């Protein structure tokens, strides 16, 4: 069994690690000869870190990242409108972590190099994909030598980014969910730590919306929205950066990005499937761009491994059925928050202040929980009372030992039961919470038995 992953960014390499840990041979192709050396993604939440945990790299990632202090909203005069801190969360990792993407890519590629079932080939571009008899044939070309060859795979994952070749080859197109905006991204290096608040600063100014954040180590990032026809040369960067206290920094990189809100209309063509930016693009206002892609591959790879091991191909239909609505919901939230934080006019300013004064806004802004999956073949949510855990990630609180809950659950399906009866013929592991030393998990379970999927989504519950 061989899967070809097209794209060696964080999503593609994570997919390869997850598949290899399930006994699948993986070949990762990337058109670039080496990892991109400049930072792009800078934020992951604690749900995403559970994906890295499943891939075996979360501890290494924690060593090159730092917990985010929170979010501070500022008006156009840089006066504080609101401040939201970060709590410990329920997933066993910091609720939000800041990092430099080259550091993450180094962690992932080091793990991939140590994985005997995985291989990475850089400087290779995909020319075409054909499918016959549950086999995909890829025409590829070495960009340095021009030599072409044909590869045969049991499946292909398109993790090749916003300008995805794989998406184009299967005839999928992107559907707009909101307007696009041009922003200037400025990455900075400081000789010494700046005397600034350590969280994310969001300037809610319709004239010049901006974001500033410490990343990791000596790195910082600033982002400024560009007006129509405006370019980086039109901005007085020293003055703009100085308002955040970022003086005397070295500009490592400036890049203009167009932030889009889009979802692909088709995520699967036979054994060819899309993940990450190839399947969706989101504005940055909730920091979920990379996290969405990691969730894609976490929820797909166990299904693909099962299909390659003999499960019905229809299992792959749940990829788009589950992930597209989830991604769409988060993208719409990002678009809405972007409008709320950067919308123009006095009415928008009044609305901002009114919303920030609402009860519960601080809790919502400070937590990282994403929406549950919709009901489907693998999510039994019919006729459930409010507050049911079905469709959500099972929490991962401390369990009184060196291991984390996900590690104890193992790679397959599992049942969590708190003093309840479990069928004698259940083939997977059963962990009884009253033996785990985790009062938080015991309270969460109550007298229920919970069926947990390999991606840690709660599939069903039964009363004990």
Confidence of residue 423 (pLDDT cuts 50, 70, 90): low
- DSSP letters, 63-124, are HT-EE--EEEEE-TT--EEEEEE----SSSS-SEEE--HHHHHHHHHHHHHT-TTEEEEESE
Cα distance between residue 160 and residue 217, in whole Å: 29
Q: What is the mean pLDDT of the chain?
A: 91
Q: Residue 356: is its pLDDT beyond 70?
A: no
Residue 202 in any domain: the answer is no
The three state secondary structure string of 195-223 is CCCCCEEEECCCCCCEEEEECCCCEEEEE
Confidence of residue 1 (pLDDT cuts 50, 70, 90): low
Residue numbers of the domain that contains 456: 372-464
151 and 56 assigned to the same domain:
yes
Residue 329 in any domain: the answer is yes
How many whole angstroms from its chain centre is CA 271?
A: 23
Confidence of residue 380 (pLDDT cuts 50, 70, 90): confident
388 and 328 assigned to the same domain:
no
pLDDT of residue 398: 82
44 and 127 assigned to the same domain:
yes
Residue finishing a domain among 334, 355, 384 = 334
297 or 340, higher pLDDT: 297
Residue 405 in any domain: the answer is yes
129 and 14 assigned to the same domain:
yes
Confidence of residue 341 (pLDDT cuts 50, 70, 90): confident
- DSSP letters, 406-437, are HHHH-SS-EEEESS----TT--S-EEEGGGTT
| 3 state DSSP class of 131 | strand
Tell me which residue of 451, 444, 384, 391 sits closest to 423, measured CA to CA: 451
390 and 461 assigned to the same domain:
yes
Residue finishing a domain among 279, 311, 334 = 334
Residue finishing a domain among 334, 358, 390 = 334
As a whole number, mean pLDDT of residues 114-140 equals: 96
150 and 271 assigned to the same domain:
yes
pLDDT of residue 427: 73
287 and 410 assigned to the same domain:
no
User: For residue range 138-187, what is the model confidence (pLDDT) as tens digits?
Assistant: 999 999 999 999 999 999 999 999 999 999 999 999 999 999 999 999 99
54 and 133 assigned to the same domain:
yes
Question: Number of structural domains, the chain?
Answer: 2
Cα distance between residue 140 and residue 308, in whole Å: 23
CATH label of the domain that carries residue 154: 3.50.50.60
User: For residue range 266-325, what is the model confidence (pLDDT) as tens digits?
Assistant: 999 999 999 999 999 999 888 899 999 999 999 999 999 999 999 999 999 999 999 999
CATH label of the domain that carries residue 459: 3.40.30
pLDDT of residue 342: 78
């Amino acid at each position: 069994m061989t899967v070809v992953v097209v794209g060696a960014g964080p999503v593609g390499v994570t997919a390869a690690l997850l598949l290899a840990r399930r006994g699948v041979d993986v070949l990762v192709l990337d058109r670039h000869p080496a990892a991109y050396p400049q930072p792009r993604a800078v934020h992951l939440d604690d749900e995403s870190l559970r994906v890295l945990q499943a891939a075996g790299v979360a501890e290494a990632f924690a060593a090159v990242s730092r917990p985010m202090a929170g979010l501070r909203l500022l008006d156009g005069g840089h006066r504080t409108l609101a401040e939201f801190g970060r709590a410990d969360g329920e997933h066993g990792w910091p609720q939000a972590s800041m990092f430099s993407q080259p550091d993450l890519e180094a962690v992932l590629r080091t793990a991939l190099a140590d994985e005997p079932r995985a291989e990475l080939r850089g400087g290779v571009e995909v020319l075409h994909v054909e499918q016959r008899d549950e086999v995909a044939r890829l025409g590829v070309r070495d960009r340095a030598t021009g030599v072409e060859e044909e590869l045969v795979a049991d499946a292909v994952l398109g993790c090749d980014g916003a300008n995805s070749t794989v998406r184009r080859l299967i005839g999928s197109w992107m559907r707009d969910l909101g307007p696009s905006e041009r922003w200037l991204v400025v990455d900075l290096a400081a000789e010494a730590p700046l005397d600034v608040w350590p969280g994310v600063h969001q300037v809610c100014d319709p004239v010049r919306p901006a974001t500033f954040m410490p990343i990791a180590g000596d790195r910082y990032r600033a982002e400024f929205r560009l007006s129509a026809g405006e370019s980086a040369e039109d901005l007085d960067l020293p003055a703009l950066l100085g308002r955040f206290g970022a003086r005397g920094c070295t500009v490592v990189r400036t890049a203009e990005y167009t932030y889009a809100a889009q979802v692909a209309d088709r995520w699967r063509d036979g054994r060819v499937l899309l993940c990450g930016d190839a399947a969706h693009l989101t504005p940055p206002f909730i920091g979920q761009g990379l996290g969405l892609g990691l969730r894609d591959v976490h929820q797909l790879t166990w299904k693909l491994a099962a299909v390659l091991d003999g499960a019905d191909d229809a299992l792959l239909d749940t990829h788009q059925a589950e992930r597209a609505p989830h991604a769409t919901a988060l993208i719409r939230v990002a678009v809405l928050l972007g409008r709320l934080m950067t919308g123009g006019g006095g009415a928008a300013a009044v609305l901002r202040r009114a919303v920030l004064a609402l009860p519960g806004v601080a809790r919502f802004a400070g937590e990282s929980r994403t929406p549950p999956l919709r009901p489907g073949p693998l999510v039994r949510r019919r006729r459930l009372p409010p507050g049911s855990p079905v469709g959500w990630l099972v929490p991962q609180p401390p369990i009184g030992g060196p291991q984390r809950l996900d590690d104890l659950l193992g790679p397959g399906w599992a049942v969590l039961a708190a003093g309840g009866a479990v069928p004698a013929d259940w083939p997977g592991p059963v962990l009884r919470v009253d033996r785990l030393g985790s009062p938080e998990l015991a309270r969460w379970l109550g007298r229920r038995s919970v069926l947990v999927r390999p991606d840690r989504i709660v599939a069903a519950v039964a009363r004990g």
